[in-house]
Amino acid sequence: MKGFTKTLRGILAVAALTTALPQIVAAQDFKGETVEWTVPFGVGGGTDVWARFFAPLLSQNLPGQPNVVVLNVPGGGSITGANQFAQRASDDGLSILGTSASTQYPAILGDPRVRYDYAEWKAVLASPTGGVVYVDPRYGVSGPADLDSLRAEEIRFASQGATALEMPVLLALKMLELNIRPVFGMESRGAGRLAFERGEAGIDFQTSSAYLGSVVPLVDAGKAMPLFSMGIVDAEGNVSRDPSYPDMPTFVEFFTEATGAAPEGEAFEAWKALMIAGYSLQKMVVLPRDVPAEVHDAYVAAAEAIVAAPDFRERAGEELGVYDQLVGDEADAALQEALTVDPEIRAFLTEWLSQDYGVRF
């Protein structure tokens, strides 16, 4: 009887394994499927440009070459789309999300509108980025020496929100003591750029992909004047020039030359923390953390193949700049570290947002 029982268990185990095999194969093969890539911003912004660069490459490198469709779900500075993804995403690998600093900052600060939790997501690809602040040439500003004349102006800035992608930009402009009048509610940075082009805003900011693709032509045409790049901030808080704009001064350089002293204090420490959390690790492809291991591995392998392609740097030049991409466990570990913010810095940021913009958590 014991031998029969053992044999029966063996048969059942083999049967169970045989039954499971088609599911595993199906999970690894996306042939004929459509992957829905939620981008919680409008068309034309930095995250949209980034996603549309990677979408066809993902399609080519995922098993079965599925159709990868970008779904723009703007609103709430990316909170609307991220909330929707958290509620509706499937765990079969056919739902992915593209996040940005605007998605991360509200989660860090405890924004009550947030219904998503980064602990429930796993990053498979992360793209650092930089960005540039530029002004309307009508102000006659060409560099740090003209800061005082710029301070005399009330300047509109079309923004997604105080806790969105532009948060370190708003803090930098405050440190420069500029009289900025933010107009919140833009669906994306692309919408902010269009407001600038229409003359409805006098100052603007774009991340590298959008700046290189959409703003450089404005600069060349004399319709925009770059002030400074946000720079690159490493894990120790050191600020260096952005490799995408090696001849452009960083915010720190601009501030130092304009004021005669380097930035310091709580505001500067908070600015560096925001840059690390939102720009050194800015745009990410995330999956629900409970997807099967073979699905996760398929995405990691696809991302590795994309980044390792001989022509990746050449193709990514204008879209992504020259930043190193993080893939797999490296991307996910960096995400968890970047979202850990010192409580004192969080307290400074929440007080500043409350006092200047009436944002309360």
Q: What is the mean pLDDT of residues 286-300?
A: 95
Would you list the DSSP string of 301-356?
A: HHHHHHHHSTTHHHHHHHHHTTPPPEETHHHHHHHHHHT---HHHHHHHHHHHHHH
Asked if residue 13 is part of any domain, the answer here is no
**pLDDT, tens digit, 9 for 90 and up, residues 273-288:** 899 888 887 889 999 9
349: number of CA atoms within 13 Å, CB side?
A: 28
Residues 164 and 258 occupy one common structural domain: yes
- Residue 139 shares a structural domain with residue 229: yes
Lowest mean pLDDT across 25-39, 84-98, 111-125, 183-197: 25-39
351 and 209 fall within a common domain: yes
Same-domain pairing of 306 and 334: yes
**pTM value surpassing 0.85:** no
CATH of the domain at 144: 3.40.190.10
91 within domain boundaries: yes
Question: In this structure, are 182 and 265 located in the same domain?
Answer: yes
Assigned domain for 9 exists: no
Give CA angle at 81 (279, 349), nearest 5°.
45
Judged by DSSP in three states, 171 sits in helix
Q: Count Cβ neighbours within 10 Å for each residue of 204-230 and write b for 16 or more, e otherwise.
A: bbbbbbbbbbbbbebeeeeebbbbbbb
- pLDDT for 319 equals 65
* Residue 249 per-residue DSSP state: P
Count: domains in the chain: 2
pLDDT digits (tens, 9 = 90+) for 163-205: 888 999 999 999 999 999 999 988 788 889 999 999 999 999 9
- 178 and 267, same structural domain? yes
Q: What DSSP string runs through 108-122?
A: HHT-TT----GGGEE
Domain CATH for 44: 3.40.190.150
- pLDDT in the model for residue 3: 40
Indicate whether 123 and 73 sit together in one domain: yes
